[in-house]
């Protein structure tokens, strides 16, 4: 008898749910050890009436059990620490006793709720994806497409059933871009990269190459790891940019040619200074590069150098070719050429800076220059570069009133006047270019 009782107790405690054995008055005769899951000891509850137990949130739920025996439904229960849980509860009657079984289904309910929310979110995601103007796709670790929206189908020019289960991701990628895309896919699936955004060329069903902007990240879909992402066709934009670059380059070529033509017009009026502006531009460009100037600044220096004497179109050619030293009046006329050049160039769009460089190229740090006699930092750095290049080139070139001087004489002139008339940094760079870096005109 004792063995039977021990066996019964063993099985009673082994059952993985809380079991209450109640008498006809609903008092607790026995409760198994599973009650400890709620933080209670067996002795705390034995002998108490079911309706007095502190584990039910709503006593009306318990009353329903006795109105509808042998049915099961979910109710809210409490732990000893007053934490809320969800349980499935069922009541059966055995002769004059009642058996009440309580299953803790809190985790199951949380998972159900989470799954329901995820399904709703996924459903909403798919609805949005179907309407999206951007291409949307999902593919697995085997690079098989699981989903592709109408916009992506339109980009690829395939039918949906020709993609899903038939094409792998790399099949639609242009051959030269496959290695790049493959590496990005591997990194994301390995966890080395959370998401990726990149430009890629894809090959459509008809063989057309399209430029696209793609982005995607790793996600979980139906218990497997996938990459979900978008793809946007930017072929029209790329083609527009390429055409724009060609047109821009054409305009640049036309402008370069026009500037060169202007410089030749000036030189044609003064055969003794032929190639002077071109030579000055070469030296000024080299100095600008040594100073670390960017492409745009270098271009401004070159153009200003090619045009720095354009104001001489206002000077009578007779004065330009005089084989003697100029009179004060003649020199005053010459000194107006930077201002004339400025007035000619400033009306050209985007030439505001270039016209100012030309205006100041005969100014000197000590204020002894012309046409305004400005000093020091008020003179643009580019004008200071141009003035040094102009002086050196002019001194080593033949003039109607003197023979060409040696390069040593020219370098001596700028060195002796560095920090006085000429920018010291520019002078030292110019000397180094000619004496150590083999610069020649």
Q: What is the pLDDT of residue 3?
A: 52
Residues 45 and 182 in one domain: no
Paired residues of 92 in beta bridges: 99
- With b for 16 or more beta-carbon neighbours within 10 A and e for fewer, the 161-191 pattern comes to eebeeebebeebbeeebeeebeebbeebbee
Residues 297 and 404 in one domain: yes
Residues in the chain where the model's pLDDT stays below 70: 1-12, 14, 69-70, 115, 117-119, 121-129, 248, 250-251, 254-258, 260-274, 318, 320-323, 400-401
Residues 323 and 423 in one domain: yes
Residues 225 and 270 in one domain: no
What is the domain extent for residue 264? 259-435
- How many structural domains does the chain have? 3
Residues 265 and 401 in one domain: yes
Rounded to whole angstroms, the Cα distance separating 405 from 396 reads 5
Contact call for residues 134 and 230 (beta carbons, < 8 A): yes
Q: What is the pLDDT of residue 1?
A: 47
Rounded to whole angstroms, the Cα distance separating 250 from 257 reads 10
Residues 315 and 421 in one domain: yes
Q: What share of the chain is helix, strand, coil (3-state, %, to 5)?
A: 50, 20, 30
CATH code for the domain of 413: 1.10.3210.10
Q: What is the pLDDT of residue 265?
A: 65
Q: What is the pLDDT of residue 412?
A: 93
Structure tokens at 68: 């509808």
Q: What is the pLDDT of residue 142?
A: 92
Domain annotation covers residue 215: yes
Domain annotation covers residue 118: no
Residues 140 and 91 in one domain: no
Q: What is the pLDDT of residue 261?
A: 66
Residues 56 and 147 in one domain: no
pTM equals: 0.49
């Amino acid at each position: 008898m004792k063995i039977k009782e021990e066996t019964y107790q063993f099985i009673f405690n082994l059952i993985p749910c809380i079991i209450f054995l109640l008498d006809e008055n609903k008092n607790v005769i026995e409760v198994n050890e599973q009650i400890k899951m709620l933080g209670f000891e067996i002795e705390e509850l034995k002998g108490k009436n079911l309706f007095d137990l502190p584990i039910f949130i709503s006593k009306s739920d318990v009353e329903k059990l006795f109105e509808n025996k042998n049915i099961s439904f979910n109710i809210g229960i409490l732990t000893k620490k007053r934490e809320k849980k969800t349980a499935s509860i069922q009541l059966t009657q055995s002769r004059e006793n009642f058996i009440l079984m309580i299953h803790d289904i809190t985790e199951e309910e949380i998972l159900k709720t989470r799954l329901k929310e995820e399904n709703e979110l996924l459903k909403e995601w798919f609805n949005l994806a179907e309407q999206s103007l951007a291409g949307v796709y999902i593919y697995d670790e085997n690079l098989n497409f699981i989903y592709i929206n109408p916009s992506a189908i339109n980009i690829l020019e395939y039918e949906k059933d020709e993609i899903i289960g038939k094409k792998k991701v790399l099949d639609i990628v242009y051959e030269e871009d496959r290695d790049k895309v493959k590496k990005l896919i591997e990194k994301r699936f390995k966890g080395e990269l959370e998401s990726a955004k990149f430009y890629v060329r894809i090959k459509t069903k008809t063989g057309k190459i399209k430029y696209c902007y793609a982005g995607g990240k790793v996600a979980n879909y139906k218990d497997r790891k996938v990459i979900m992402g978008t793809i946007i066709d930017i072929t029209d934009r790329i083609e527009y940019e390429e055409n724009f670059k060609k047109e821009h380059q054409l305009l640049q070529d036309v402008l370069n040619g026009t500037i060169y033509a202007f410089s030749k017009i000036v030189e044609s009026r003064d055969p003794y200074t032929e190639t002077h502006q071109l030579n000055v531009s070469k030296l000024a460009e080299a100095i600008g590069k040594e100073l670390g100037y960017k492409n745009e600044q270098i271009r401004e220096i070159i153009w200003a150098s090619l045009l720095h004497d354009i104001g001489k179109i206002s000077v009578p050619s007779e004065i330009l070719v005089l084989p003697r030293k100029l009179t004060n009046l003649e020199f005053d006329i010459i000194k107006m050429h930077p201002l004339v050049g400025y007035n000619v160039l400033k009306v050209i769009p985007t030439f505001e800076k270039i016209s100012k460089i030309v205006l100041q190229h005969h100014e000197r740090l000590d204020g002894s220059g012309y046409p305004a006699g400005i000093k020091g930092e008020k003179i643009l750095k580019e004008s200071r570069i141009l003035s040094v290049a102009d002086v050196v080139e002019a001194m080593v070139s033949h003039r109607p009133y003197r023979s060409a001087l040696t390069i040593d004489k020219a370098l001596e002139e700028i060195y002796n006047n560095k920090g006085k008339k000429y920018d010291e940094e520019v002078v030292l760079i110019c000397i180094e270019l000619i004496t150590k870096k083999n610069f020649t005109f």
